[in-house]
Structure 1
Amino acid sequence: MGRIPRRFRPILAGATLRDRLYACGGALAALCVTALLGYVVVGPEAALPFLVAPVGASAVLVFAVPASPLARPWSVVGGNVLSTLVGLGVLAFVHDPFLAAGLAVGGAIAAMSLFRCLHPPGGAAALTTVIGGSVVSAAGPLFAFVPVGLNSVVLVAMGWLFHRLAGHAYPHRAPRTDPAERRSRFRAEDVDRALAEVGEAFDISREDLGVLLREVETQALVRRHGELTAGDVMSREVVRVTMHDTPETARALLLAHDLRTLPVLGPDGAVVGTVGLRELVRPATCVGELASPPLTAPVDLPALALSRALSDGRAHAAVILDTEGGLCGMVTQTDLIVALCRALTDPV
């Protein structure tokens, strides 16, 4: 019995049941809206279809794997429209259906690769064009834009709206280069050489692959030294300010104690942000107006799990919270260096 459920697990790395259910709901809503708008634009009396089949395949990418380079808006819109234009070109000069089908799909792959909008449903769009019959041939170049282009644009817009409401980023944003990358044991050129050595194409951008590999390094370190928690290495005597304190008070505390970050507490004692000299350069009447969102972590988190967050150039310290969410300590970059030294000198 234990083996049967595993057969139904998503084969995509990182996929969860929750994400798949969201994808089902998003595709349902998006295809309904796309069909409705296509029906309104094309009209009930028009010979053109108001929804084309390749858009269903595009929906799978947009909603199930939005981080894929193949699901980016330019890939969806450009890939489908460009492939349809290729199919129309083939249809105009090649009348043998078997040869036309092969030329259309092959030409679509070449065109999408050239214009950096590779999108698997584009092959279906090209094939649909050459086997679509008199309706497609009569529409001419218009078919590439209505309904194919229209369907693709509406689908992308629905994808953006849905993922925004669901808390995901679409279009997927490649992670920015940060100091952690320069300190990693591998470089971008190492990733390029590894991909060239393997000799296969993978459905992930090089930037995302680099981030994933750096996170693998962090998780391997945590696995080997997970017994060392944030509570073990944190500074317990925490200098703090309240959101109603003046910027001058915060600046004086930072300089007096040689600190880079102070936690900012609200009226109920909860941590509402952090402040450092970087924030204090702006004019304000109280610290609460300048506080940045805090980097927080539970007291039982493995200390080395903070290595990436404290080395990306955005945060100098993590606020450590107890089991009830109250402030109980701080882990600074210095504290983390000490923890790393302890981990590297202790036997595995």
Structure 2
Amino acid sequence: MADRFVHQNFSDVVATAAALARLEFDGIIPLNDFAIHSAARIARDRTLPGWNEFAERCFISKVAMKRCWIESGLPTPRCTFTTVAKLLAGEFPDWDIWPAVIKPAFSGGGSRGVFIARDWDEAAAGLRQVERTYLDGEIVIEEFIKGSEHTLEVLVCRGNPTLLSISDKENYAGSDTVVQKLFFPGPVGHSYRKKLEPLVFAACRSMQLTDGTAHFEVLIRNGELFLLEVGGRPGGGLNLQPICEISTGYDYPALLATVLSGGSPDFERKRAEHLAWHYFPRGDGILRAVEGFASIKDEPDVVDAELYEEIGKPRFDLRNDLARPGYVLVRSSSIERARERAAKLVAGVRFVTTEAVGSSS
């Protein structure tokens, strides 16, 4: 679809604007967190639809985002803010709610640098291991709430939001931060649609969103809703395409491109199916072989399947969403069938490993 390629580090706003100076285009779409800053600035400079300065700030700083929601009276876990330098120096904020989620104000997404701590000692020790992912040096310390987690895709056109998609998420066993399974449409999330929709729309208004798309993460505990965070771009990986179109009938890329080029989106929907996005289990040692994966992509109900781990290298450690082994995405006429089928395909893949050098049995 692209007819021009520009080799440029797009997290550098000035350099990106210069690299695109001679090119004419009708809209600019940020596809990940690192692109939001440049896309928003360049869109404003060219008077194209996009995020205003206030919205941009909320998207690239969880501190600004949380403050916006708190000041607007929206439900979000209790939190406080500090910096990497202060926490590692033993200068702790007034906070006594444990366990707590320690997360960077900006890391580029993918749960980079996010961990759970049970006291200040654990917070400092954990931060020392991941402090390089805290790219702006600011920290959000947030009350840890156990509940069901959901993602929502919300398209905003001239300030009017439309909810496109709701998913259900399940984390890896033993992990409170890394997702292993996602289901579209999420049956649990959709049972709360009448509450979720006005909540995320209110969050859009509080952040003064005008034109673009927002990827929300929301938690539900005992019927109570909490806004966790939001990205000013589509959900990562396969969310933009093909997950949204298959599971909702909406042509997400076309809708977003229409909004960001100044047009009016047509929300006509195609026939939808159910999807299960299931990541493979983690393992230890050195990966020597993967058995049973090669034939998966040929299965008629498999939309996509991918392996990220490499033969001869250590298994991934699940430190964040970018350290997962790979996945299979399955479509079916019901969510139960999609879930069962994905689980069966995942169980049929065997990761053959040997112990890493120096490890104990």
Q: Give the number of the structure whose residues are more often strand, by fraction.
A: 2
Pair in the same fold by TM > 0.5 = no
For the aligned pair, the TM-score class normalised by the smaller chain equals under 0.3
Higher relative contact order at CA 8 Å, sep ≥6: structure 1 or structure 2? 2
> TM-score, with normalisation over the residues of structure 2?
0.25
TM-score (normalised: structure 1): 0.25
Largest Rg, 1 or 2: 1
